[in-house]
Structure 1
Amino acid sequence: MYPGTDTVAIAAASPERPQPFAELGMNEEEYQRVRNILGRRPTSAELAIYSVMWSEHCSYKSSKVHLRQFGDKAPKTDKLLVGMGENAGVVDIGQGWAVTFKVESHNHPSYVEPYQGAATGVGGIVRDIISMGARPVAVMDSLRFGPADAPDTQRVLPGVVAGVGGYGNSLGLPNIGGETAFDACYAQNPLVNALCVGVMKHEDIKRAVAPGPGNRVILFGAPTGPDGIGGASVLASATFDEESHQKRPSVQVGDPFMEKLLIECCLELFGEDLVVGIQDLGAAGVSCATTELAAAGTGGMHVDLDAVPLRDATLLPEEILMSESQERMMAVVEPGKVDRFLEICARWEIPATVIGTVTDTRRLVMTWRGETIVDIPPVTAADEGPVYNRPLAPPPDLGALQSDTPGRLTRPSNGDELRRTVLWLAGSPNLASKTWVTSQYDRYVLGNTVMAMPENAGVVRVDDESGLGIALSLDGNGRYTRLDPYAGAQLALSESYRNVAATGARPMAVTNCLNFGSPEDPGVMWQFARAVEGLADACQYLGIPVTGGNVSFYNQTGEAPINPTPVIGVLGVHDDVRRRVNMSLTTDGATIALLGETREEFGGSEWAHVVYGHLGGLPPLVDLKAEAALASVLVNAARDGLVTAVHDLSDGGLSQTLVESCLRGGLGARITLPGDPFVTLFSESVARAMVAVMPGAEARLAALCESAGVPVTQIGIAGGDALNVTGRTPEGDQQELFSIPLHELREAHERTLPTYAD
């Protein structure tokens, strides 16, 4: 099935020496399968290629059977120009413009070396966007740490934040949003998920393919060094030569200034149509780029590893293949265009070297020091890795967890206790101001950022003349998903969807980063399968396709996995960003209304988590029909100028929404709560938003809500310098329950993170 060359001098390891497949993350069955494919014992270089290409990170061998649902259930749309399977998905946003976006994880490296782990996570996702032919225009991040006051969090948090900011700021890319959260389950296993978005014209889209026998393969960017070797499969160079080499560092080292040059160099190369195929070098380095390009093209490639520029001349061929050194790309170029390609690279001071040639042999052949060290069918490494349908079973404690409802927890029963709870939540690590984090990021560089954190979503202008733009949100909730993985994934999607709509943008597409524990644990795999099913079903219902994403397994400390944490990014489109709406209360006298239905829902809530450290019950009820209806109201209200402010309700409920909108706009509010004050303030029911209505537009907004079937309740007036709340007492009387001056709210909201970070 996979014919080899008739005569080939394969430089194989001696038959007497056992091959370290187990140390490279392969099991016996996988190793034997490699031998069957090749019809012989693999060389150490071939073994290295298969081990990393068949790793969980590169091959998705445990998740692939479930991820297929994203394609099988994908809604029909002509807006998706490039879907899953490429470096990033591409969406048509109109007027000839396309947007590509994707989110990926760099969790484990960020624990080992927080600064470089986070920095190179940003660098890697940016190169995915470059490889699609786009100019990167913004980044976002989703960060999760252990308890805010834990010593290890105080080690990891500052380094991660500095790494995200240091790399992104140096690239000149605005960081427009994201989230930072804390939970004991992430102790010693932080989550660092980075998103990048880029823009291009339709005709500029590039693919990771190597067509055309005779075309040249060019490696360009930073030289290859020992950093990051085996980052995807825990490969240590000592495996190959224990006597002459020390264990190489497993965390990559980034150079954002080289990457900035690489961005501009690539865009000029694309502009002159010098590239027929391109791939960034990330996980698995040269191994991944060569096998994937060859497998997706004519099917063959010949590579001279001696031509690869090295920072360390002592690197073995296995290490050259496995190195995950940053700021590198691989391009396929027609012979007649090679000189111009190299000329442009030289002008940008980007090292570039022809290392190979495309063939039609359906073989990937590599030589080193005159010997053939690799001769494999590239499709077997890139596309035909093992696929596991691992055992599934609900976690043994799930039933008890769901039965332990928050109903047994003592609730605040008077105005003073409600006031104290509002302040407590506003200053809790998850809900407190993240200014200490976001102030380290440049949010407005490039001049096209229209909105950035702490707004509902980041908004970027794409076209100056028409005002065409995009909105992006990135959200997740591990507590909800722990209680119900199917619903939890849908709740993460619905929050991100709602955030985008709150700015006035139409939600269009989804990317995801699925962070879970070990796939070898049936409980974890059950959580994963249910979460994927939930997300696929919800995307199908809402009519927004999944364009791509990332799976990160083995997130656990010892035997204890993290809470299953799907992080969902939603892309929305603004026909004119000048009509976007922010969250700030700024119009004195504006009517404040609550859209949507409030139910008594506290399972997995911030109130239970902050006040009692409790996790139990069921998460809020998912209502996708209500989410879609609410989104239509918010988009149309923004278009017609009916609202001056919009803020979605999510973690912390109406209480936190009021705090953030009042502080953001510097204007207080006089609120009258309908129903039970505790439920109205702190419930986390979904498909809800608070709006400030343009004076005189109250009737038009009410009519819009009625036609969409969205409940609307007037709850107050914007104004003053305090949050004044009136509601029903336990005796049934209406009276002022509490008043909190804005300066007191601000002090509680802003003091927390600097205290823990310093």
Structure 2
Amino acid sequence: MSLSDPDRELVTAELGRDPTPTEAALFENLWSEHCAYRSSRPLLSAFDSESDQVVVGPGDDAAVVSVPDNGGTEDSETYVTMGIESHNHPSYVDPYDGAATGVGGIVRDTLSMGAYPIALADSLYFGGFDREHTRYLLDGVVEGIADYGNAIGVPTVGGSVEFHDGYEGNPLVNVACVGLVDGERLVTAEAQAAGNKLVLVGNATGRDGLGGASFASEDLAEDAETEDRPAVQVGDPYSEKLLIEANEDLIDAGLVQSARDLGAAGLGGASSELVAKGGFGARIELDRVHQREPNMNPLEIVLAESQERMVYEVRLEDVDDVAAVAERYDLGCSVIGEVAEGNYVCTFEGSEPGERETVVDVPAEFLADGAPMNDLVTVEPPEPERNPPDVDVEAAFEAVVGSPNAASKRWVYRQYDHEVGTRTALRPGDDAAIVALREAGTGLAISSGAVPAWTDCAPYDGARAVALENATNLAAKGATPLAAVDCLNGGNPETPDVYGGFSAVVDGLADMCRELSVPVVGGNVSLYNDSVAGPIPPTPTLAMIGTKAGYDAPTAELDGDGALLLVGAGSDALGGSELLSQAGGTDRFPTLPENAPEVVATLADVADADATLSVHDVSTGGLAVALAELLTADAGADVAVDDAVSLFEETPGRAVVETTDPESVAEAFDDVAPVTRLGTATDDGSLSLDVGGEELTVDADRVAAIRGVLDEALD
């Protein structure tokens, strides 16, 4: 680790002296791209983050949003917390621990708001599935998420898995968490009063994860899997589970004034940000930190990213009670200092008895928020030329439906415990998960993901499509979008065309969320996702929640007794489609609807209608994949479309609706979007397609075999 020369000059000018080694390391990590968003923060003002439902917006460990009351069991107002985090570089170096500790970190962000974690959603991006290294990474990441999430008792209810050659040397692991809290229990990461104590609760501090923030702010080197292993934290989910329950007791007893999870930059990051946010400094005695390794020096104690740790601001009179709760759960507990006026100061026991060495003495706000922003050059990416391929329908159907991106992800989500907590009303494998908030009588729908083929083809419009796709997923289950958090992943921002693509996805995501009146209430940025294989595609993962009265929803499985309708306007463009990735060729990106809010709102109403039997959005692979996913052993479809483009183009904002009252669906979408009669559902478990006169019939067993490529390769 080393502080750059320009940053060192700024720090020296502010302090009036050279920084100590510990100070220099603190600034190097807290002013890194990972912590300070030096290249991305100038772009983030594009997002609207306010609405009547937003209680806590960007800037805290997690956002807080109020949910509608539909006759629940509690009198107090119900809030949900939302957060999303990336653990990209660590998951390449050590797939298991990198992914596992990503789960642990986002859960602790939830705890720091006083909330109880109720759901996880992970969005994963890997290189080509045909590569052995990709399968190694996929297996380790999924196992890490499953083992950690299952052990702490938080269900993983949704997410996405994408494969693209651009992730070969740098996979992405983005994890979102939703928590439950009310106004009386809500706390924040803003210190409240000088004189309050700072108490560290959780696992002992070791040397793992040193320099993790700076490591996450650099391109991955060719030898990263060996040389950067010390920067990856090691998780202990059983301690995290104890910490979850201890946090509940501390919040119930009103013992917490503010809290922060120890994540990037460890104790130094958490404690300095907490006091700076409140306009204070701190006095911290580093040798009071409970440690698991001998002879740790001040720099190691300050920057270690050992997991399962929280720092709490506690009134002096409550310290003993906090310690008693920690002891009851067999967690370590150290009173490490106090909130103070003035600077952020850390001391360490010197070589002589009673002697204390001051190793950090800096303005807290300058440390936490003083990093200068980067002024970078952008180059707009070119629009692809139109060169669509000739299509053989039968061959294209098998290639697209059986591609790793469109194939069943059952191998992934069956490893997750999605039932723990007894709130999961709609399980993984559908357009969106639904979690029961019985406290408010409200169903909370959750969708998370991005489509890198879209944003690689057309960064701005592709990102708009990502936002519309997530909103459509919610609407297909009858939910109205409420709020979102984003995880903005990009390559090296110092490369103009890479930064141009990243800037475009930020604007595209912000513009569509604004159109949909969905506030983006928080998020995460991960840049320098480059490797010897090159930069990743710009990847704007969006985790969006929506609400509905009750918990019932139409599923993405045919009932067999209704008419099949396609609602929403299509396009004649194939840009970013799975068909092009399989068959070759280039094309412009599809045109998105100009009235997206009306389309989403109408679809949500139709999905909730009594006559609606099933609903499934049209996304990756187009109508071909949507119909294949709707098929069951007992219910099939007899469908006709005009041509192959109609079958494989991927314009978002569309859905297949099975209904016993097609006239009412057409009436609902009148003047909103076209409704196309596709055909009828059947009870024979087969899909019969008439594609401009070319006929194709496949039964459910054959479709299941085509879609089972992950199961076949990984079991």
TM-score band w.r.t. shorter chain: over 0.9
User: How far has the Cα of 1:314 moved from its partner?
Assistant: 2.4
Between the aligned partners of 1:507 and 1:624, the Cα distance in structure 2 is: 18
CA RMSD of aligned residues (A): 1.8
1:437 pairs, out of 412, 428, 432, with 412
* 1:732 alignment partner in structure 2: none
Q: Deviations over 1:312-364 (max 9, x none)?
A: 11221101111010000000000111111111111111111100011122443
1:622 maps to 592
- The CA deviation at 1:698 is 2.5
Partner of 1:385: 371
**1:244-302 CA distance string (max 9 Å, x none):** xx998111000001001101100110011100010000010011111101101241110
CA contact (8 A) 1:217 1:357 kept: yes
Give the deviation of 1:702 after TM superposition: 2.0
What is the distance in 2 between the residues matched to 1:598 and 1:214?
A: 62
Matched residue, 1:141: 122
Matched, 1:757 2:714: yes
Where does residue 243 of structure 1 map in the other structure? none
Is 1:125 the equivalent of 2:100? no
Residues in 2 aligned to 1:388 and 1:519: alpha-carbon distance in whole angstroms: 10
The residue type equivalent to 1:648 in the other structure is: D
Distance 1:605 1:459 in 2: 28
Gap change, CA 1:681 and 1:137, over 3 Å in 2: same
- Structure 1 residues 368 and 235, CA gap change in structure 2 (3 angstroms): farther
d(CA) in 2 for partners of 1:657 and 1:610?
17
1:183 CA drift (Å): 1.3
Name the residue aligned to 2:600: 631
Equivalent position of 2:656 in the other structure? 690
Q: Is residue 540 from structure 1 mapped to residue 506 from structure 2 by the alignment?
A: no
Q: Which has the larger radius of gyration?
A: 1
Q: Which letter maps to 1:551? A: V
- Name the residue aligned to 1:12: none
Residue 585 (structure 1) aligns with: 558
Runs (5+) with no aligned partner, structure 1: 1-22, 237-245, 413-417, 730-735
Matches within 5 A, 1:653-672: 653-663=622-632, 666-672=634-640
Is the Cα–Cα contact under 8 Å of residues 169 and 532 in structure 2 kept in the other structure? no
**In structure 1, C-alpha distance between the alignment counterparts of 2:240 and 2:619, rounded to whole Å:** 37
- Number of matched residues? 693
Consecutive aligned runs of 4 or more in structure 1 exceeding 4 Å deviation: none
TM-score by length of 2: 0.94
Letter of the 1:52 partner, please give it.
N
In 1, are the aligned partners of 2:122 and 2:173 still within 8 Å (CA)?
Answer: yes
2:423 corresponds to: 448
TM-score scaled by length of structure 1? 0.89
Q: Report SS of the residue matched to 2:215.
A: coil
Structure 1 contact 298–359 (Cα < 8 Å) conserved: no
The partner residue of 1:424 within 390, 399, 404 is 399
Instruction: Report matched runs for 1:572-611 at 5 Å.
Output: 572-578=546-552, 580-586=553-559, 588-611=560-583
Specify whether residues 469 and 247 from structure 1 end up closer, same or farther in structure 2 by C-alpha distance, changes over 3 A only.
Answer: closer
Shift of 1:633: 1.6
CA distance in 2, matches of 1:594, 1:41: 67
Measured after TM superposition, the shift of residue 27 of structure 1 is 2.1
CA distance in 1, matches of 2:634, 2:125: 29
1:92-131 deviation line (CA, Å, top 9, x unaligned):
1023111111211101100101100000011111111111
CA distance in 1, matches of 2:379, 2:602: 40
| 1:680 correspondence with 2:634 | no
Task: For 2:10 and 2:653, locate their aligned partners in 1 and report how far apart those are by CA, in whole Å.
Answer: 50
Alignment match of 1:712 (pick from 672, 675, 685): 675
Question: What residue number does 1:463 align with?
Answer: 438
Assess, with a 3 A threshold, how the Cα gap between structure 1 residues 389 and 184 changes in structure 2: closer, same or farther. Answer: same
Residues 1:287 and 2:257 aligned together? no
1:570-602 CA-to-partner distances (Å, cap 9, x unmatched) read 110122113x2211102x321111101222120
Residue 59 of structure 1 is aligned with which of 36, 47, 50?
Answer: 36
Question: 1:147–1:184: 8 Å Cα contact kept in structure 2?
Answer: yes
Label 1:666 to 1:356 Cα distance change in 2 as closer, same or farther (>3 A). Answer: farther
Per the alignment, residue 51 of structure 2 pairs with 77
SS at the partner of 1:144? strand
Equivalent position SS for 1:204: coil
User: Aligned equivalents of 2:240 and 2:332: distance in 1?
Assistant: 12
Deviations 1:417-458 (A, max 9, x none): x23322222211111111111111111111110112210001
Measured against aligned partners, the alpha-carbon deviations of 1:43-93 in whole angstroms (never above 9, x if no partner) come to 1111111111000000001111111222xx44x521011111111111110
Structure 1 residue 524 displacement after superposition: 1.3
Match of 2:11 among 34, 53, 72: 34
- Pick from 377, 390, 396: which aligns with 1:410? 390
Identical pairs, percent:
38
| Shift, 1:532, TM fit | 1.2
Q: Is the partner of 1:584 in helix, strand or coil? A: coil
Residue 327 (structure 1) aligned with residue 300 (structure 2) = no
Q: Which deviates more from structure 2 when the two are superposed, residues 496-505 or residues 551-560?
A: 551-560
Instruction: Report if aligned partners of 1:542, 1:624 keep a CA contact under 8 Å in 2.
Output: no
Residues 49, 748 of structure 1: CA spacing in aligned structure 2 closer, same or farther, 3 A cutoff? same
Residues in 1 aligned to 2:346 and 2:145: alpha-carbon distance in whole angstroms? 38
1:106/1:191 contact within 8 Å kept = yes
